[in-house]
Chains A and B, each alone.
Chain A
Amino acid sequence: MTRNVVIEAAGENILIPAPYDIIWSAVVFFVALLLFWKLVLPKLQKLLDERAAAIEGGIKKAEEAQAEAAAALEKYNAELAKAREEAAGIRETARANAAKLEAELKEQANEEASRIIANAQSRIESERSSAAAELRREVGTLALDLSEKVVGESLTDDKASAIVDRFLADLEAQEAGR
């Protein structure tokens, strides 16, 4: 076949196409053109579009996931902050309560102390006054007994008590004067 074509091409003018040459070449050209035009290139175009869409979809999905993660992080942080705030609040309340309790206890103790002191004072006062009255009476009686013994006669109650009273008053005055 190769030899035939070469001899034929060399024998005739190779620049003038034979009719069968043109016809079959045209057939080849148009079949190939139809193949690419109607089948291969539209398919390829569709594929490229799909691929681009898939890539875009992938990018979008990744972006969404990233946004989601960021949102979750934000939420977590917010919750953490809220928990911290809450803890601080609780601590603050506890501290305030403790302070209040302490103050109350202190006040109570003070009150108690002052009450005890007052009680003690009043008791001391009353005991002192009763002791003083007792003393006064006993001193009077003793003094009278002594005087009776010294004088040898009985002193009338009125007179004696007047004397005792005066004596005691003198005593008191002396004490006051000192």
Chain B
Amino acid sequence: MLRLISLAVLVLVFWLGTRRLRLIPTRGQSVVELGLGFVRNNIAYEMLGEKDGKRFLPLLTTIFFVVLFCNITGVVPLLNLGSTSVIGLPLVLAIAAYVAFIYAGLKKHPGAFLKNSLFPSGVPWPLYILLTPIEFISTFVIRPITLTLRLMMNMFVGHMMLVLLFSATHFFLLGAPWAMKAIGVGTLGAAFAFTLFEVMVSVLQAYIFAVLTAVYIQLALAEEH
């Protein structure tokens, strides 16, 4: 349900934001362009270069904004929960990133991709006994798991902190004896600070998720690892 609200907001912002694009941008258009331009220039083009960046731009843009919009609901009053703090959405996005970088690698180096990934060149062959399982696990097993868990746990823990601080505030201010109300003021302040922190974490996690996806794609596209 929460995801669908986020999605609706996202669709609304970008659909309305790009419905009438003008050469000389209006204020709203500037904001939308700023967001899209950030993903385009600071993530896609910087990591992948202009040609490959353009190919994977839809995926990276989607990942960035879906994560951002679903994260930010964690600090929106009445919603109070990021849909990224349950495992489903992070997992779906991680799988998308996983599919994307394997696809990119196989398309660029058909045949050589798996070999390059699992048997790094310039290493004496007996080391492959040790290296190949490590490479396999780190590239094909760990990557999607870390992507998923990093996002999910960040949001989950942030949510827990906010729940804790808000319920403590509620308890101390309304249910506790006079002397303890001071603590409630402290927890309210902390909750306020944490809310701002969560906003930052929301943006940061969206950025990290998109950048890591771009990095994985870039590594897959590179000639040799």
**Which residues of chain A have a CB within 8 Å of any CB of chain B?**
1-2, 5-6, 9, 14-18, 21-22, 24-29, 31-33, 35-37, 39-41, 43-44, 46-47, 50-51, 54
What are 17 A-B contacts defined by CB distance under 8 Å? A1-B2, A2-B163, A9-B86, A15-B87, A16-B87, A17-B86, A18-B88, A21-B88, A24-B4, A28-B4, A32-B65, A35-B10, A36-B14, A36-B65, A39-B14, A39-B18, A41-B36
Q: B1-43 CB contact bits vs A (8 Å, 1 = yes)?
A: 1111011001100110010010100000000010010000000
B81 interfacial contact with A, CB 8 Å: yes
Taking a contact as CB atoms under 8 Å apart, the answer to whether B57 and A2 are in contact is no
How many B residues face the partner with a CB closer than 8 A?
38
Q: In the docked arrangement, what's the CA distance between A43 and B29, Å?
A: 12
Interface centre among B3, B87, B156 (most CB of A within 10 A): B87
Q: In the docked arrangement, what's the CA distance between A51 and B23, Å?
A: 6
Q: In the docked arrangement, what's the CA distance between A46 and B33, Å?
A: 13
Beyond contacts A22-B91, A28-B3: 12 other A-B pairs, Cβ-Cβ < 8 A, are A15-B149, A25-B88, A25-B91, A29-B66, A32-B62, A35-B14, A35-B15, A36-B58, A41-B57, A44-B18, A47-B21, A47-B23
Provide the main secondary structure of the chain B interface: helix
Taking a contact as CB atoms under 8 Å apart, the answer to whether B3 and A2 are in contact is no
Taking a contact as CB atoms under 8 Å apart, the answer to whether B65 and A43 are in contact is no
Chain B residue contacts of A35, Cβ below 8 A: 10-11, 14-15, 62
Q: B77-92 CB contact bits vs A (8 Å, 1 = yes)?
A: 0001101001111011
Taking a contact as CB atoms under 8 Å apart, the answer to whether A28 and B18 are in contact is no
Q: In the docked arrangement, what's the CA distance between A135 and B80, Å?
A: 159
Chain B residue contacts of A36, Cβ below 8 A: 14, 58, 61-62, 65
Taking a contact as CB atoms under 8 Å apart, the answer to whether B1 and A1 are in contact is yes
Taking a contact as CB atoms under 8 Å apart, the answer to whether A21 and B1 are in contact is no
List B residues 177-225 near A (Cβ within 8 Å).
none
Which 4 pairs between the two chains have the least Cβ-Cβ distance?
Answer: A21-B88, A37-B58, A25-B89, A25-B88
Chain A residue contacts of B14, Cβ below 8 A: 35-36, 39-40
CB distance from A90 to the nearest CB of B (A): 57
Find the A residue at minimum CB distance from B80: A2
Taking a contact as CB atoms under 8 Å apart, the answer to whether A44 and B86 are in contact is no
Find the B residue at minimum CB distance from A8: B86
B47 interfacial contact with A, CB 8 Å: no
